[in-house]
Chains A and B, each alone.
Chain A
């Protein structure tokens, strides 16, 4: 670790009650409040921030299409490093990588990554109505339910090629629920069985309702700085060891291999290379679970198991508390919260685990974590490998 190695020194997420911000709040209010909280635990204020990275699905097409610009105005800061990267739910894993490069280059010294959403309590959610312009004119007119239908297309192909079953996908939802039962902040904490998942309403065959993530509000913030500055701050710094990103398509029809998450393979390979670590050296894994199939494809592409082996890998509740592969330890998008773009919450949970702040759900001796975000319709992927020093 050099003086300019990037560290995460502050995190915060918005408290939810039954999936919504109590009393209601705009996406801008949510972000301002978590920004202040994440900076405060690091002993910093907004006046220290000179790097700002924001992605959102709020306020589209304007002002949310320039999310970092809007947030700089709202917070009244004038950063010297700015990043509006929006690749869907994986944006925040990309932001960590971009901030790490900016910190290493001296382009900024204190960077903050922000997300906020009122999609459950507000009225901003319209996933059924993607415009049918440009490349989407070859998707939207046929009634593809976005995004779930796209994930169902991949699930069906994986089943066809490898014999993966609905029961195996359900194992992921069940194991994730068990983690949620250990997290007081999780929205869904009732016991869940594989039969419950299979008996839930079919949404886009072969995906059932309980294969799908929640729809909640939410907000998160992550503060990063370089190792030199981190030494003077009160929180235990979590080091960014590696990162990588890629994308293969926007419209699901262009996915190069429906049974393989190529963008995750590219992102993961780059993150492992930078970190000098492999999948066997990771203690805790946080993987975007928009749908159960997202997890299964990610596990294979990131090398935790071989191609087509994901179904067997997650069987027997291997990823549940007490299993030998702790994954999605906050209860995930499936049972904790999913405010539209979930990627920032994967990072926040990984930091909590590496700090040893996991409470009842703490993974013993967690020293390394891999976070992988997926955005769009299996469109983009970004991996971050974190470690406590």
Chain B
């Protein structure tokens, strides 16, 4: 069991989290405009269509920007410092917040290629994280 804050999974996001449990990174893909988005929302943020489908992403991307947290986000993350919080730009286009899993903080850089890994923090919740590719 973890003392960290877990996502409050809802009817809109349940498929994403179910996919993560199965080791798949799912993204909304809009059939109308052909573009991906993240996080999932009722209307495609690009073309406003409401009929997109979930699609499995490649799990590859690059670090768009990052920070190394030397003070954790509250007591639950206190013992993890220093750790990397990053925005990864996925090969499919959307960006997502994540952690970069690494033993070498000095190797972290903007534009570094990364690939998804899955961290099963509870039976219900698996967090997509990334590691240098």
B-contacting residues of A (Cβ < 8 Å)? 126-129, 131-135, 137-146, 148-149, 152-154, 156-157, 160, 201-207, 251-253, 258
**Other 15 A-B pairs with CB < 8 A, given A142-B98, A205-B82:** A128-B73, A128-B74, A128-B75, A128-B76, A132-B7, A138-B39, A141-B5, A144-B69, A144-B85, A145-B85, A149-B67, A156-B66, A203-B70, A204-B69, A205-B70
What number of residue pairs across chains A and B have CB atoms under 8 A from each other?
A: 120
Cβ-closest chain A residue relative to B86 = A153
23 residue pairs from A and B, CB less than 8 Å apart: A131-B5, A131-B8, A132-B7, A134-B10, A135-B39, A137-B7, A141-B6, A143-B69, A143-B77, A143-B99, A144-B73, A145-B71, A145-B72, A146-B73, A149-B69, A156-B67, A156-B110, A157-B110, A160-B111, A204-B69, A251-B97, A252-B97, A253-B96
What is the bound-complex CA distance between A203 and B82, given in angstroms? 10
Complex contacts, B67 vs chain A, CB 8 Å: 149, 152-153, 156, 204-207
The one of A137, A143, A253 in contact with B13, judged by C-beta atoms closer than 8 angstroms, is A137
Q: Give the Cβ gap from A389 to chain B, nearest Cβ, in Å.
A: 45
The one of B64, B80, B95, B125 in contact with A143, judged by C-beta atoms closer than 8 angstroms, is B80
Number of interface residues of B (CB under 8 A): 39
The one of B6, B39, B64, B80 in contact with A132, judged by C-beta atoms closer than 8 angstroms, is B6
A-contacting residues of B (Cβ < 8 Å)? 4-10, 13, 38-39, 64-77, 80, 82-83, 85, 87, 95-99, 110-111, 125, 127, 129
Cβ-closest chain B residue relative to A258 = B65
Contact (Cβ within 8 A) B6 A201: no
**Prevailing SS type, chain A contact patch:** mixed
Complex contacts, B8 vs chain A, CB 8 Å: 131-134, 137
